[in-house]
């Protein structure tokens, strides 16, 4: 099969055409990242305007680069949930327009499922069931992917997502005012700044939720610990409003270490629970890691150590497939199309949803 996929759940307008073997026949992506960076965060109506302004060009670019005529495309897939409704609406409406125009079926896609399944396109050895950790700007969860359309949610964040925490602390530390980080996301800036630390343990942090035996996450406490250190240093060194503190690299490193240790703890719990309940086969244990914050090599390094200890293989798609893109939506369409699920010939009733659970919620069962 050949599927065209469209992604507009947040701040990336993406489109791709993918075949049943996972060959990317054509793709295009427009990122609104710099606009939102200058606004200090995503303003939904602005994101919507930018999706509206770019969707047609992005789709045309993907289709033209593929050289595939519409008559060879089997279905059109689009993210319908979860995400910013104003953003989701643009991709969903445009997909329905294409379905009508070219007489194609519509395939509504769950954004987080798409993040999880992309690993199967990048690494053909990833088979169901596998454990998956999704860490991004809007989400944080650990789940078992049992089938294309069956997930068991083991844990999620009780407050901020990790990417969100990285973005907030980077802004508060004013990393953007250092020219080398001015165009980077908060997460990228903190990761690079942390590499310059001469004493990564200079600032004390405590790991959240250590006494809880479930798999849930929490990042707002870590963020607040950083803000307290920062405030104290700013006063101590009388730092002007547009300047970073002298210990900024060490502070970034300390933050990144505690975030990583926390994520690793929760994943360890998930591995232990999955083993107790026989949710993953002991001989073929795989941890898939994806989402924007999965681009962080320090976090990946920590997870690799946990995987080695627990006999898991770690699979992280290349960074461009960890962040939002059209390919992951088209690939999810391919996986569903092969199983003959979620293909709609009558799709007027399908609406966007800002929040949508990923599969069966076991977060209260895990201990
Ligand atoms: P979602 O996918 O949940 O809707 P999103 O669109 O914000 O959210 P992505 O596009 O997957 O998420 O990723 C963006 C997020 O990833 C940002 O919060 C950014 O700070 C974070 N991020 C990117 N690179 C890194 C990195 N190297 N380390 C940590 N975080 C990172
Ligand atoms: Fe995403």
Mean pLDDT by 10 residues, the chain (367 residues): 98 97 98 90 96 98 98 98 98 98 98 98 98 96 98 98 97 96 96 98 97 95 98 97 96 98 98 96 95 97 98 97 97 98 97 95 91
Minimal-distance CA residue to ligand 1 atom 10: 323
State the pLDDT at residue 37.
86
ipTM over the 0.95 cut-off: yes
Ligand 1 pocket: which of 37, 137, 184, 300 to mutate (most atoms within 8 A of CB): 137
Contact 156 CB / ligand 1 (< 6 Å)? no
**Token pair for residue 241?**
């409003």
CA atoms within 13 A on the CB side of 190: 33
Strands 12-19 and 24-31: antiparallel
Nearest to 228 by CA among 256, 266, 193, 255: 255
Backbone angles phi, psi at 45, to 5 degrees: -65, -30
Contact 163 CB / ligand 1 (< 6 Å)? yes
Nearest to 17 by CA among 255, 342, 333, 363: 333
Strands 150-156 and 140-147: antiparallel
CA torsion angle for 245, 246, 249, 255 (degrees, to 10)?
-50
The residues near 21 (Cβ < 8 Å, ≥ 6 apart) are none
**Token pair for residue 294?**
């999965």
Q: Which residue has the tokens 């699920």?
A: 341
**Token pair for residue 238?**
């009388």
| Alpha-carbon distances of 37 from 181, 189, 197, rounded to whole Å | 12, 12, 25
State the pLDDT at residue 334.
98
**Token pair for residue 145?**
């992917």
Q: What burial class does residue 159 get, using C-beta atoms within 10 Å of its C-beta: 0-12 exposed, 13-18 middle, 19+ buried?
A: middle
Rounded to whole angstroms, the Cα distance separating 291 from 316 reads 9
- Residue 271 CA, chain-centre distance (Å), reads 20
Residue 91: count of CB within 10 angstroms of its CB: 29
Contact 216 CB / ligand 1 (< 6 Å)? no
Contact 258, 217 (CB under 8 A): no
Angle separating helix axes 162-172 and 186-194, nearest 10 degrees: 70
| Alpha-carbon distances of 46 from 26, 84, 184, rounded to whole Å | 27, 12, 20
Ligand 1 pocket: which of 292, 297, 323, 328 to mutate (most atoms within 8 A of CB): 292
Nearest-atom index, ligand 1, CA of 82: 4
Ligand 1 pocket: which of 13, 110, 187 to mutate (most atoms within 8 A of CB): 187
State the pLDDT at residue 367.
80
CA of 135 to the centre of ligand 2 (A): 9
CA of 138 to the centre of ligand 1 (A): 8
Contact 292 CB / ligand 1 (< 6 Å)? yes
Contact 185 CB / ligand 1 (< 6 Å)? yes
Contact 138 CB / ligand 1 (< 6 Å)? yes
Rounded to whole angstroms, the Cα distance separating 293 from 296 reads 6
Minimal-distance CA residue to ligand 1 atom 15: 137
CA of 149 to the centre of ligand 2 (A): 18
Contact 37, 305 (CB under 8 A): no
Contact 291 CB / ligand 1 (< 6 Å)? yes
Q: pTM for the full model?
A: 0.96
Q: What angle do CA 58, 62, 65 make, to 5 degrees?
A: 135
Contact 10 CB / ligand 1 (< 6 Å)? yes
Ligand that lies nearest to the alpha carbon of residue 323, given by its number in the listed order: 1
């Amino acid at each position: 099969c050949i599927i065209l996929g469209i992604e507009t759940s947040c701040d990336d307008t993406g489109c791709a055409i993918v075949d049943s073997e996972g060959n990317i026949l054509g793709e295009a992506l427009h990122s609104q990242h710099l606009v939102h960076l200058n606004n200090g965060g995503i303003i939904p109506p602005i994101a919507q305007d930018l999706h509206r302004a770019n969707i047609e060009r992005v789709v045309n670019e993907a289709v033209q680069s593929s050289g595939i005529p519409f008559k060879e495309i089997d279905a059109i897939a689009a993210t319908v949930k979860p995400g910013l409704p104003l953003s989701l609406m643009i991709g969903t409406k445009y997909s329905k327009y294409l379905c009508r125009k070219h007489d194609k079926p519509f395939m509504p896609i769950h954004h987080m499922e798409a993040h999880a399944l992309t690993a199967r396109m990048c690494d053909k050895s990833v088979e169901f069931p596998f454990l998956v950790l999704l860490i991004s700007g809007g989400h944080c969860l650990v789940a078992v992917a049992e089938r294309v359309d069956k997930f068991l949610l083991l844990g999620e964040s009780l407050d901020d997502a990790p990417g969100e925490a990285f973005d907030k602390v980077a802004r508060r530390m004013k990393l953007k005012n250092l020219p080398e980080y001015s165009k980077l996301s908060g997460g990228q800036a903190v990761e690079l700044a942390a590499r310059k630390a001469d004493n990564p343990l200079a600032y004390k942090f405590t790991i959240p939720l250590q006494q809880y035996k479930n798999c849930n996450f929490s990042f707002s406490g870590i963020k607040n610990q950083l803000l307290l250190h920062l405030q104290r240093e700013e006063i101590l060194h009388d730092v002007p409003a547009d300047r970073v503190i002298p210990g900024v690299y060490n502070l970034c490193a300390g933050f990144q270490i505690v975030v990583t240790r926390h994520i690793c703890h929760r994943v360890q719990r998930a591995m232990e629970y999955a083993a107790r309940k026989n949710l993953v086969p002991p001989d073929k244990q795989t941890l898939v890691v994806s989402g924007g914050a999965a681009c962080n090599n320090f976090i990946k390094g920590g997870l690799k150590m946990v995987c080695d200890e627990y006999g898991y293989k770690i699979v992280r798609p290349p960074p461009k497939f960890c962040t939002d893109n059209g390919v992951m939506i088209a690939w999810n369409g391919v996986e569903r199309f092969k199983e003959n699920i979620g293909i709609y010939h009558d799709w007027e009733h399908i609406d966007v949803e800002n929040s949508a659970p990923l599969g069966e919620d076991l977060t209260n069962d895990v201990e």
